[in-house]
Structure formats: C-alpha cells, structure tokens
Structure 1
Amino acid sequence: MKIRFGYVANAIGLWDASPSKTLTFTRYSTLPKNERMEKLKFVTAQNLHHTKRILYYNIAHEIELYRFSSSLVPLATHPEVMWDFLTPFKKEWEEIGSIVQHFKLRVSFHPDQFTLFTSPREEVTINAVKNMEYHYRMLQAMNALDTGLINIHIGGAYGDKNNAINRFHHNLKKLPKEIKKHMTLENDDKTYDVRETLITCEKENIPMVLDYHHYMANTGESDLPLYLQRIFCTWNNFNIVPKVHISSPKSDQSYRSHADLVSLDFVLPFLKMAKELDKDFDVMIEAKQKNLAMQKLVEEIATIRGVKRISSSSVEW
C-alpha cells in the first residue's frame, strides 16, 4: 500500500508567498474606475507568481499532492465585477499547467462552504454553479483537467435532510456535465455523515473524499470499517487513486477546529483500517502548519514497523 501526502495552498517557510492575496469589493469600489482593472490584475499576477513558487518548492521536496487556493483571482465571481481573468494571464496559466503536467502533480480546488446545491433559494444554486465554473475554468486554463478535481460538501439540511438531499440531486442537474465530471463530495463535521455522503456519491457517480476528522466529529450511525471499501470504490471509474483528508482536533473544547499539526495517535486507527484494504490512496493534510505538519506526520509514520519511506512525502506499508 502506497500513501502520498500533500497540503493546502500556502507553503510555510517561503517568504511572502501567499497565493491568496485579496481585493475586497469594498476596496475595489473606492478605487478610481481607471485603476480598478489594474489593481485586479496586479493582485492576480502576484497570486499566480506565488503559486509557481510553491509548486517549485513542492517539486524540490518531492510533494506530488497540492490543493490550489480558491482565492487566486479576486472578485472572479462577483456579479458587479465578473472580469476576464484568463486572457491577460494566458501565459501564466499555461506555465502553471506545464509544471503540473511535467512533474505529474495531483492538484485540486476546494470552493468555500457557500458552494452548495441543497438550498431552497434559486440564487444560491446559481451562485454555486458560477463558483464551480470559476474553478473549472482555472483547471481548464492550466490544461489540468486530466487529474484536477473540485471538492465540495453536500450543504445544509434546512431542517429536513430528506428534502435537502432531494434538492441536491435536483439542483445538481443545473451544473454542466463536463464540470460534474471533475467534482468530488466530502462528508462534513456537522450535517452529512459518511453514510449519507457515500449514498449520495454512489447515486450521482461522484468520487467521495473521506475526511477522517469530520468522521470523528460527526459519526452519525456510520461504522467506518463497513464503508471504507465502498468509499474507495467510488473512485474506480476515474482512473485515479482515492483521496482522504486528514487533520486532528485543536482541543477537546474546539474539536472541529484544525490543530497546527496532525496527531499520529489520532489518525493511526484510520491508517491501520486502510491497511486492511491494502489499496493505494492519497492524503491531503488540512493542518494549520500546512507543509510542515505534513512533513512531520510523514516522518512519524515512517517510524512505524513495516512502513518504508519512499520519498519526502510518501510511504509504503
């Protein structure tokens, strides 16, 4: 069983390398009209440049798994802005894509919690489609659609889970099919547990990303060993190994919050459970210390008897 590890957005230790620099609509509105587009392009150029720096850092450290920041382009989906963020940066998008392809990196996006398809309000669904299109267009501009995925949660329950799930299936029909082919669904820490998310994924033929921390916070009636094989099987039609999210609680009082690092004791039961399936999978670390937390966890896992470290960010067990 081979496990690769990756992290989210920022590389801790790279100086001034945030790929998530922002421009709020309030700030945008106060700028003279002839300066607004220039400012949008300036911030976007910074984010794309820093993304390239991070990718080269990842390559130097043999990290093949990376989640792009969803904030690469400020105000990309704001109804009063909606600017062309592809044409002015055609070269930059292609450069990022060439790095991804040449080094065979596995990349993804994770839109915010407002990208949901369970709302009874039509405008929420419309905005969800717009946000998915925004992320899809970035992957397309990078020519990274072969392996690039967009991960979201099912959404809210609005007081009636059955109706909300039915709305999810209905509203998801509004998402273009070519975008749906690149989406994944993740169980969450409050509402839709592993079983509910898995059934939804199976019905829609969408791969499921298991979030182990969320599972521990919201087990519902799920017994994970009974479902893990089925979760991994949702990836069978996509020619890519399953992906799992791992983090650990900040504290007993802030159980749903992510800690700075990942506790091996917390995640070891899951790793042993996965070992029984003996199937390769990838792990996205969602700790506050990003790449540093990932590297520390890999080092600790590599000390387990029977585990062999095969690169800076991967092990065989």
Structure 2
Amino acid sequence: MKDLRHLGLGFFCSTSDNRITTNRKFKLSNLTLSKFLNVFYQNLSDFVVLLEISKRMNLSIFRLGSNMVPFASHSNLDKSWLKMIEKDLKSASEAIRKYGVRITMHPGQHVILSSPRKEVLDASLRELEYHFWLLDCLGVGNDGVVVVHVGGVYGDKKEALKRFIFVVRESSWLKERLAIENDERFYNLEDVLWLCERLNLPVVFDYYHHTINPSDFDSKMVLSSWDGRIPEFHLSSFPTVSKKFNEHGDWIEIEDVLSLENLFKGERIDVILEAKKKEKAIERLIELAQDNGVVLSARSLMKG
C-alpha cells in the first residue's frame, strides 16, 4: 500500500448540496441589522457543523466562506454591527480548537492588488482587512492564510508585478496572513515564486492551474516559502465535460493526487480539494485510493 497520510485534506465553504454553508448572502438592498444578524448567525452555526463534519472525516483543513459576515467590507455597513458580533466569533474559536481543523480563506477575484485603478485597490484592501479581522476574531493562528491571485497584466506584466510589490510593502500588515496562488492565465508558478521571494510571502501551489499554465519550478522553494508552516495547496481535476475554460470537475481523480505527490514527495501538506462535490468528492476519492492501493488521511463521512 502506498501511504499518503502526510497529505492533509479538506474542502471549502459548504457541503455539496449547499444546505450547510458559511457563505449565505442576500441583496444589498435588503441590508438591515436584523437581516445581517440573521444570516451571520446561520453562517456561524453551520461553520461549527462543518468543523464537526471535517473532524469526523479526519480532515485537516477547511476554507471558510468569504460571506461569513455579510457585506462586512461594504461602505453601506454600519461598522458598529461588527463590534456586536465579535464576542460570538471569539466563542467560535473554542470550536476551532476543539476540532483541530486549520482555517484559511480565499476571497474572490475582485481582490486585485496589482490593479492600476485606485477604487479597485481601495476596495481590495478593505476586503482583505475584513478577512484578516475575521480570522483574528476566530483566534486563528498564522497558518490561517488569506489566499489571493496576482490579478491581470493590464498591458504590462512587469508593471503589474511592481504595483503588487509596492502595495504589499506600503500596507505591511498584509504580510501577516497574505499568500499568493499561481493562476491559469497570467501568473504561473515561476512568476509567483519570483514575487513571493521579494515579499517573503508563502506560495499556494494550485495543481490544476499548473497543468493549464505550466512552468519549471523548484519544489523546495515552494515549500521553504512557508517558513516552517505546513503549506496549503489546491487540487482539482478536469470535468468530464467542460463548459468553460478553467472549470473544475465534480470529482477528484486519484491520478491527480498521485501526480501532486510526485512533485512534493513525502512532504506534509494541507490540500484544499476544489471539487464541486466537496465532501462527497473526498468520500469517492478515498474509495478510489483504496482500490488503487493508496492510503489517505481522510475516512468516510458515513463511516465516521
């Protein structure tokens, strides 16, 4: 049997049927204190359930939904509302400690630190401030990174990279949790390694993006960028039928897990499985692994 128990697994935001979720949202036009609190407390309650599910499946990591606190970074939100919920968030930190699941976040692609537009940059920084504040309130340690992409090239890739570097150096608080992921279009792993070397930030290796937008790289450099912390990587498989470029599949194929392992042989890594079927995809993957003589760390939700 091939032992891959050094690969910690996890899923993101919600269960596959979306009934249990940390990502509920509503229209901005409906923003009232009662609506805000109602949705937040539903998200918070489900977060604890998702931690329980992750623990039962022997998972190591969970990605918290960015809509956990609705409209937290929006200018329309009364910031005193955030103060009202801090105590509840701190109470949830006890559940995180109890279940021992690593928590990270990954805001949407509207967060662009390389943008030449001031309004985009300002909104991006507000969104990241919210993510950092949320993880701080939850008592998450420095392994709770906030993952971003570099963004677009805007006609000049070198200038875009320079802007990214300038913004991070100007807003030095970003270095507390920021991590950078390679993407499938503009910034491959070699680009991200170059950037992270200059900023002393960790690299989040996305295997699927690397297959689409490949580059040569030194696996030791990726691992050392985490400075002793367990790296967070992302893994997904191609869909059976692709409707659009970069679409993730419903499931994770064992061949992709083995290919990832081949790149980072024997290293302890936490892997967010970005499959549409989420926890169901993990269950299926465990069965595939067993059929192929491979031992993974997770166990069946139904048998847990």
Normalized against structure 1, the TM-score is what? Answer: 0.86
Aligned pair 1:148/2:135, yes or no? Answer: no
Q: Which amino acid aligns with 1:248?
A: S
2:174 maps to 1:186: no
Matched, 1:18 2:21: yes
Structure 1 alignment gaps of length 5 or more: 29-35
Q: Is the 8 A contact 1:8 1:67 kept in 2?
A: yes
1:43 paired residue among 19, 39, 42? 39
| Greater than 4 Å deviation, 4+ residue runs | none
Q: Alignment RMSD, CA only?
A: 2.0
Q: Report deviation, 1:162.
A: 0.6
The alpha-carbon distance between structure 1 residues 115 and 102, as it changes in their structure 2 partners (threshold 3 A), is: same
User: SS state of the match for residue 86, structure 1?
Assistant: helix
Aligned to 1:33: none
Residue number in structure 2 paired with 1:31: none
CA contact (8 A) 2:9 2:298 kept: no
Alignment-derived partner of residue 124 in structure 1? 120
2:190 to 189, 192, 195: 195
Provide the residue aligned with 1:229 in structure 2: 220
Structure 2 match to 1:32: none
Q: Deviations over 1:84-138 (max 9, x none)?
A: 3433223421232111123321110101101111111122111111111100111
Counterpart amino acid of residue 26 in structure 1: S
Structure 2 distance, partners of 1:151, 1:171, is: 16
Residue 280 in structure 1 maps to residue 283 in structure 2: no
SS of the counterpart of 1:249? coil
Q: 1:234 is aligned with what amino acid? A: S
The secondary structure found in structure 2 opposite 1:199 is: helix
Report if aligned partners of 2:152, 2:160 keep a CA contact under 8 Å in 1.
yes
Instruction: Give the equivalent residue in structure 2 for 1:265.
Output: 255
Residues 295-317 of structure 1, C-alpha deviation per residue, up to 9 Å, x if partnerless? 22233234444x4345528xxxx
Q: Secondary structure of 1:5's match?
A: strand
Q: Structure 1 CA distance, aligned partners of 2:182 and 2:17? A: 31
| Counterpart among 203, 208, 211 of residue 213 in structure 1 | 208
Counterpart residue number, 2:8: 4
User: Structure 2: how far apart are the matches of 1:201 and 1:69?
Assistant: 25
AA aligned to 1:12 is S
Please give the alpha-carbon distance, in whole angstroms, between the structure 1 residues aligned to 2:86 and 2:115.
Answer: 35
The verdict on how the C-alpha distance between 1:230 and 1:103 changes in structure 2, with shifts beyond 3 A counting, is same
8 A contact 1:217–1:255 mirrored in 2: no
Q: Which runs of 5+ in 2 are unaligned?
A: none
Take 1:246 and 1:91, find their aligned partners in 2: how far apart are those partners?
35
Hey, what's the Cα distance between the residues in 2 that align with 1:218 and 1:249? 14
Distance change in 2, residues 1:20/1:253 (3 Å): closer
1:248 matched to 2:234? The reply is no
Q: Number of aligned residue pairs: give it.
A: 295
Structural mapping, 1:156-175, within 5 Å: 156-175=152-171
Displacement of 1:267 in angstroms is: 4.2
Which residue number in structure 1 is paired with residue 106 of structure 2? 110
263-272 or 92-101, which deviates more = 263-272
How far apart in 2 are the matches of 1:107 and 1:205?
Answer: 21
Cα drift, residue 21 of structure 1:
1.4
Secondary structure at the counterpart of residue 259 of structure 1: coil
C-alpha contact 2:51 2:99 (8 A) present in aligned 1: no
Distance 1:230 1:311, change over 3 A: same
1:76–1:85 contact (8 Å) kept in structure 2: no
Question: 1:269 Cα shift?
Answer: 2.3
The equivalent position to 1:300 in structure 2, one of 250, 275, 288, is 288
Aligned in 2, Cα 1:311/1:188: closer, same or farther, shift over 3 Å? Answer: closer
Q: Deviations over 1:44-93 (max 9, x none)?
A: 11111111111122222222210000011111111122533433223421
**Per-residue CA shift, 1:213-271, capped at 9, x if unaligned?**
0011112xx13xx4222111111x2x321121000122456451011111223443232
* 1:4 counterpart SS class: strand
